[in-house]
Amino acid sequence: MTQSIDYAAIAPPLILAVAAGLVLLLDAFLPRTPRTLPTLGLVTLAGVLAALAAVVAQAARGARPRTFCVPADAAGGRPSCSFVVDDLTLVFGAVVLATAVVVVLLSWTQLAEGGIPAGEWYFLLLCTLTGAVTLPASRDLIMLVVALELVSLPVFALTALKRYDARGSEAALKLFLVSVISTAVMLFGVSLLYGLTGAVHLDRVAARLGGSPPAAQLASLPAGVPSGVLTVAVVLVLAGFAFKVAAVPFHFWAGDVYQGAPVPVAALLSVISKAAGFAGLIVVLTIALAGHAALWAPIVAVLAVLTMTVGNLLALRQRHAVRLLAWSSVAQSGYILAPLGVAGKSAASASIAYLAIYAAMNAGAFAVVMLVSRTRERDELDDYRGLAFRSPAAALALAFFLICLAGLPPGLAGLFAKVVVFREIVHGGLGWLAVVLAVNTVIGLYYYIAWTARLFAPAPLPVPGRGVPTRPVTIAVAVALLVSLAFSVAPQLVLSAVR
């Protein structure tokens, strides 16, 4: 059986994959000159921007193509497709690629410091992006797992790429072990789903499992599907994704890995890799398991509560900037999970809206941290004292990102994101979850505001910079700032993107 391929539909991942190959070739054959590094960076950036343009073009055209389809089975119905471009795919694609622009710009400065082979770095980065863009479009179990692995595998290498850096190697090993375990767990769950239904396409899995969304009670399973096995499968799949998004109790790796990895990789982990995890989670839950919301919604709700609470409490005690961002991004994962816990009609779009806004502000925060960590070796919170006097623009930008993350005006983007989540939960009637979320918002505020206040505190001695070009990072900060400001003034941009 041959399948026709719609190249327009798969353009974004295709462009990224081609760019990855090109970077590897250029790195192998270009003569080593001082111009090589910027050339590789430019090619990577061009690839990412072209992929982003392809996503925008798809969105503008309005068509929602599907490809890699198999014809309808004997039971009738529509043909099932493995690769579907819909609103969800486009939003995730745009979020991932826009963040990728920031990450590439950060890498530019990171690589200029030396110690990291540039060709490999950009190749691995583009591979991860290819996976992250493919994942939200995947509509069958196998493609989902492959895409998720494509996101994860290059990240270990990226983490460990800085030679002779013990911390980086340790982080890479931890990440590797966690990721392998989570993949194994998830594969087991996936194979159970397959075994129960005999189908890999998500829509067919949903059809075989029965139930109709939104199901108030446990949907009655068709004969021959033991409910115990289904529960186990759901729990295992959830656990697998929970590792990827660093949800509690599968969060413990986050702190060490974020701190040990180079800052661009930490940004990648906290935004792109997390977005990919959530994309997979949302796709599986709302398509394949749509009829069994009553089974997974309570688990997700509990997961969300644990994640936000533990993440916030851990962040409360941190003195290292990247570690604080690591735990705070765990807490933010909890906020993103929360709407899925009520499994309402618009739960997925609330989660996605929050994720998109979170991506902008968190990437921005990492960009400023990158900028500051060029001059400060330790990168502790106290190093940020008096930043407002040394480099007012960076300090104001960081203050804005942190206040956004805290969800207070003038960081309206963060506030609206929280309102969307709150609204979803209140509407779904989970009052206790809303209260927990409210309390967590306040806990989160404490450390964000404490960090912000440090920026404006009287400064210790100024420290000379290390003479590394920081212009790309400055551009990255500006990009993130512009997007965050745009979301603050017109959050409609993301709220209306997903229906």
Closest CA to 55 of 85, 25, 23, 35: 85
Minimum CB distance to another protein smaller for 82 or for 332:
332
Minimum CB distance to another protein smaller for 401 or for 422:
422
CA max distance for the chain: 75
Binding test (CB under 8 A) with another protein, winner from 145, 230, 261, 420: 420
Secondary structure (3-state) at 82? strand
Phi/psi of residue 68, nearest 5 degrees: 55, 55
What CA–CA distance (Å, rounded) separates 204 from 78? 10
Binding test (CB under 8 A) with another protein, winner from 408, 413, 479, 480: 408
What CA–CA distance (Å, rounded) separates 485 from 483? 5
Distance in Å, CB of 432 to another protein, minimum: 11
Distance in Å, CB of 414 to another protein, minimum: 11
Binding test (CB under 8 A) with another protein, winner from 253, 296, 416, 451: 416
132 residue type, one letter: A
Q: Which of residues 67-86 bind another protein (CB under 8 A)?
A: none
Secondary structure (3-state) at 320? strand
Distance in Å, CB of 418 to another protein, minimum: 8
Binding test (CB under 8 A) with another protein, winner from 83, 358, 422, 451: 422
The contacts of residue 69 (CB under 8 Å, 6+ apart) are 3, 79, 80, 81, 82
What CA–CA distance (Å, rounded) separates 86 from 279? 12
**Which part of the chain contacts another protein (CB under 8 A), choosing from 38-46, 224-232, 242-250, 404-412?**
404-412
Closest CA to 147 of 157, 158, 137: 137
Given a contact cutoff of 8 angstroms between Cβ atoms, the answer to whether 321 and 379 are in contact is yes
Q: Which of residues 430-459 bind another protein (CB under 8 A)?
A: 431, 434-435, 438-439, 441-442, 445-446, 449-450, 453, 456
Question: What x/- string results for residues 477 through 496 when contact with another protein is judged by CB under 8 A?
Answer: -------------xxx--xx
Using H for helix, E for strand and C for coil, what is the string for 405-470? HHCCCCCHHHHHHHHHHHHHHHHHCCHHHHHHHHHHHHHHHHHHHHHHHHHCCCCCCCCCCCCCCC
Q: How close are the terminal C-alpha atoms of the chain, in Å?
A: 35
Alpha-carbon distance values, 67 to 6, 64, 201, 334, 399 (Å): 6, 10, 13, 33, 44
Distance in Å, CB of 423 to another protein, minimum: 5
Distance in Å, CB of 368 to another protein, minimum: 18
Report the b/e string of 155-186 with b at 16+ CB within 10 A. bbbbbbbbeebeebbbbbbbbbebbeebbebb
- Number of residues located near another protein, criterion CB under 8 A: 32
Minimum CB distance to another protein smaller for 40 or for 408:
408
**Which part of the chain contacts another protein (CB under 8 A), choosing from 21-29, 65-73, 91-99, 421-429?**
421-429
Minimum CB distance to another protein smaller for 50 or for 396:
396
Residue 345, judged by CB atoms within 10 A of its CB (0-12, 13-18, 19+), counts as: exposed
Distance in Å, CB of 426 to another protein, minimum: 4
DSSP line for 116-161:
S-HHHHHHHHHHHHHHHHHGGGB-BHHHHHHHHHHHHHHHHHHHH-
Secondary structure (3-state) at 491? coil
What CA–CA distance (Å, rounded) separates 78 from 64? 15
Minimum CB distance to another protein smaller for 133 or for 403:
403
Binding test (CB under 8 A) with another protein, winner from 172, 359, 412, 481: 412
Minimum CB distance to another protein smaller for 225 or for 426:
426
Minimum CB distance to another protein smaller for 105 or for 436:
436
Q: Which of residues 232-291 bind another protein (CB under 8 A)?
A: none
**Which part of the chain contacts another protein (CB under 8 A), choosing from 23-31, 108-116, 364-372, 413-421?**
413-421
Alpha-carbon distance values, 210 to 152, 161, 197 (Å): 32, 47, 10
Distance in Å, CB of 281 to another protein, minimum: 22
Distance in Å, CB of 491 to another protein, minimum: 6
**Which part of the chain contacts another protein (CB under 8 A), choosing from 31-39, 131-139, 196-204, 406-414?**
406-414
Minimum CB distance to another protein smaller for 230 or for 445:
445
Closest CA to 321 of 393, 273, 271, 373: 373
Q: Which of residues 333-362 bind another protein (CB under 8 A)?
A: 353
Distance in Å, CB of 360 to another protein, minimum: 16
Binding test (CB under 8 A) with another protein, winner from 14, 190, 221, 403: 403
Given a contact cutoff of 8 angstroms between Cβ atoms, the answer to whether 27 and 21 are in contact is no
Distance in Å, CB of 479 to another protein, minimum: 20
- Does 193 bind another protein (CB under 8 A)? Our answer is no
Give the footprint of another protein on this chain (CB under 8 A). 353, 403, 408-410, 412, 415-416, 419-420, 422-423, 426-427, 431, 434-435, 438-439, 441-442, 445-446, 449-450, 453, 456, 490-492, 495-496
